[in-house]
Amino acid sequence: MWGSRMYRILPIATGYFSIGTSASWKLKVLNEGLPEGGNCSHVKPKVHQFFPLVKIKCNPELQFFLCSVYVPVCTILERPIPPCRSLCLSARRGCDEVMLRFGFPWPETLECSNFPEPPDICVGENTTSAPPSTQQRPFVSKPPGSPGRPAHDSGGLPAFPEGAMDLGFVCPVQFKVPKGFDYTLKVGDKVVKDCAAPCQGMFFTPQQINFSRLWVGSWSALCLLSCLFTVLTFMIDTERFRYPERPIVFLSLCYLMVAASYLAGASSGNTASCRKPFPPPLDLPSLQMVSTVTQGTKHEPCTILFMLLYFFGMASSIWWVILTLTWFLAAGLKWGHEAIEANSQYFHLAAWAVPALKTITILAMGKVEGDILTGVCYVGMMNPETLRSFVLIPLFVYLVLGTIFLLAGFVSLFRIRTVMKHDGTKTDKLEKLMIRIGVFSVMYTVPALVVLACLFYEQAYMDSWMLTWNQEMCSRPGQHTPYSIPCPIGERARGLGQRPEFEVFMIKYLMYLVVGLTSSLWVWSPKTLASWKGFFHRPSRSREAYL
């Protein structure tokens, strides 16, 4: 293995390989695959992947063994001196057990059978008679007849280190983000700073992502057209939409902006939700970095889409509460539309100020995250705590308040209907109004409940999904450690294998947008048709009057 290769002598800077050595050596490195210019950047990633094992000190000989393999010391010989098989066996004891517990096999390139035995010249250590606490320093073995020749160590396996049982999530170098971007990645109970999630290969396949963009984009276009029709109908016949019905117009306006945001995200690829790969670390200039999911507020397309989507999404829920409140004021407390309209400024204050304050809070906290399924940015995409605080709980509160006002209004309408029937008054118009309100309410509350159920599902299982992703990422076939990170073990490894159901996310997006589609149901009436006819005939009548 070692005798037929070509080598070159290169100076190695102090601490270049960062595995505990502080010596400045001239080392022989493999000439095979050496990049032009003569640096060791191709060797460093290979050594770096063993840093966690050196860190936990699974075996005191591992560091010396790795150095003798990848950066052997220069001698007067024409070839480097390889490590002895005994040194390999000694270094492997304890460390291969750690690797197996993390899901890694011992690398084939470091199989001890690849290394020579005395009488061949090799780097080894005499561990025959010295106890583990007083082992001698490693030395270069000598030919037969020389004193101090190493022999095989037949001692038993050392005890497994307590500190190696669970290192938690370790951020791969390829996912590292420069300081100042305030990225964090939560895997299980551990939050890692300056670490981002990859855009590809996390939870969903490329085919699922492409289908999601098409699915969300199609429903967004339909929702946008429906809401636009409602808003335009209001603009051509403003007097027709008076309180308590006017909040429907503002509800449609909010969903118009929500649909436009989703449509922009679905049609723009990963422009907003993902960032191009960050530059590699200075000490690993040839490392291939990956595209990462956007976080924070330093990527303008992501920030703008988040502001539109979150602000108008929350405002739509508050306008739903205001709509049910005005229905209750009109039906239960017998308020006229003039009395309700006199307080409209308070409705607008609540509907626009509360979402604005929440949006500003999220921006100040930097909790904006990209959504790889839709191409937009939102809050709580991979953080259950922020999802509960800023999305799940507010939507639940708004839905409960709206339902209370709605039921109170219906009780009042039923009482009015009973009185009218008792007096012999016709109740046809009132019954039609009750049916319209009932249908519209069901078309809002049912999708809202489904969205809440999907959000609850996300926040309940997000930690399990992240641990499963960690497991898949660290133990993919083909390489022993693609990202040089440990796998979940112990308590963290329980319940692994859970993955997000793609269909649940598709239902969530559909139910979120379907409310905008149903908003046009309220305006579909003969009055709407007459309003549009009058609008299109108005210019011709004006010209006739002028003539």
Q: What is the pLDDT of residue 29?
A: 45
364 has a pLDDT exceeding 90: yes
Please write the tens of the pLDDT for every residue from 154-210: 333 333 334 445 667 888 888 889 888 889 998 888 888 989 999 988 889 999 999
Please provide the average confidence, as pLDDT, over all residues in the chain. Answer: 77
69 has a pLDDT exceeding 90: no
Distance CA 39, CA 11 (A): 9
H-helix or E-strand containing 7? Answer: strand 7-11
153 has a pLDDT exceeding 90: no
Helix, coil or strand: residue 10? strand
Intra-chain end-to-end CA distance of the chain, in Å: 102
Q: Please name the residues in contact with 7: beta carbons below 8 A apart, sequence gap of 6 or more.
A: 28, 29, 30, 31, 79, 80
84 has a pLDDT exceeding 80: yes
Distance CA 450, CA 465 (A): 21
Least confident of 2-6, 34-38, 389-393, 460-464: 34-38
Specify burial of residue 308 (Cβ count, 10 A radius: 0-12, 13-18, 19+): buried
Q: Classify domain 205-275+291-454+508-526 at the CATH superfamily level.
A: Rhodopsin 7-helix transmembrane proteins (1.20.1070.10)
Handedness of CA 279, 284, 289, 293 (dihedral sign): negative
Distance CA 400, CA 541 (A): 49
407 has a pLDDT exceeding 80: yes
Q: What is the pLDDT of residue 535?
A: 76
Peptide bond into 244 cis (omega under 30): yes
User: Which residue would you say has higher pLDDT here, 217 or 51?
Assistant: 217
Beta bridge pairs of residue 292 = 198, 275
CA distances for 411 relative to 83, 322, 406, 434, angstroms? 87, 18, 9, 11
CATH of domain 7-164: 1.10.2000.10
pTM recorded for the entire structure: 0.70
Phi and psi, residue 98, nearest 5°:
-60, -45
55 has a pLDDT exceeding 70: yes
Q: Report the relative pairing of strands 368-370 and 184-187 from DSSP bridges.
A: unpaired
Please report, for the chain, the start and end positions of each structural domain, with discontinuous segments joined by +.
7-164, 205-275+291-454+508-526
Q: Please name the residues in contact with 386: beta carbons below 8 A apart, sequence gap of 6 or more.
A: 362, 367, 379, 380
Q: What mean pLDDT is predicted for residues 83-111?
A: 79
Q: What is the pLDDT of residue 515?
A: 85
436 has a pLDDT exceeding 60: yes
User: Which residue would you say has higher pLDDT here, 538 or 28?
Assistant: 538
What string of DSSP letters covers 113-125? Answer: GGS--TTS--EE-
Q: Is-contact 69 79, C-beta < 8 A?
A: no
Q: What is the pLDDT of residue 82?
A: 85
Distance CA 93, CA 97 (A): 7
Q: What mean pLDDT is predicted for residues 47-52?
A: 74
Q: What is the pLDDT of residue 63?
A: 83
Q: Which contacts of 406-411 are long-range, i.e. CB under 8 A and separated by 24 or more positions?
A: 406/324, 406/327, 406/328, 406/437, 406/441, 406/445, 408/328, 408/332, 409/324, 409/327, 409/328, 409/330, 409/331, 409/332, 409/437, 410/331, 410/434, 410/437, 410/438, 411/332
Please write the tens of the pLDDT for every residue from 475-488: 544 444 456 676 77
Q: What is the pLDDT of residue 490?
A: 61
Please write the tens of the pLDDT for every residue from 106-152: 787 788 888 888 877 788 754 443 344 333 333 333 333 333 333 33
Q: What is the pLDDT of residue 113?
A: 80
H-helix or E-strand containing 541? Answer: helix 526-546
Phi and psi, residue 184, nearest 5°:
-140, 150
pLDDT band at 265 (very low <50, low <70, confident <90, very high): very high
Tell how far CA 46 is from the center of its chain: 29
Helix, coil or strand: residue 26? strand
Q: What is the pLDDT of residue 141?
A: 35
Q: What is the pLDDT of residue 88?
A: 87
Please write the tens of the pLDDT for every residue from 267-308: 988 899 999 998 888 777 777 888 999 999 999 999 999 999
Cα-based angle 244, 249, 254 (whole degrees, multiple of 5)? 125
Q: What mean pLDDT is predicted for residues 525-543?
A: 70
Q: What is the pLDDT of residue 404?
A: 93
Q: What is the pLDDT of residue 71?
A: 76
The DSSP symbol for 492 reads: G
Q: What is the pLDDT of residue 492?
A: 61
505 has a pLDDT exceeding 80: yes
H-helix or E-strand containing 23? Answer: none
Q: What is the pLDDT of residue 136?
A: 35
Least confident of 200-209, 315-324, 325-334: 325-334
pLDDT band at 373 (very low <50, low <70, confident <90, very high): very high
The owner of tokens 């790795």 is 66
Q: What is the pLDDT of residue 138?
A: 37
The percent of residues above 70 in pLDDT, for the chain, comes to 73
Structure tokens at 513: 């947008």
Least confident of 9-18, 68-77, 198-207, 293-302: 9-18
377 has a pLDDT exceeding 90: yes
Q: What is the pLDDT of residue 78?
A: 63
pLDDT band at 245 (very low <50, low <70, confident <90, very high): confident
Q: What is the pLDDT of residue 241?
A: 79
pLDDT band at 419 (very low <50, low <70, confident <90, very high): confident
Q: What is the pLDDT of residue 60?
A: 82
470 has a pLDDT exceeding 90: no
Beta bridge pairs of residue 481 = none
The percent of residues above 90 in pLDDT, for the chain, comes to 32
Cα-based angle 101, 190, 45 (whole degrees, multiple of 5)? 60
Q: What is the pLDDT of residue 107?
A: 80
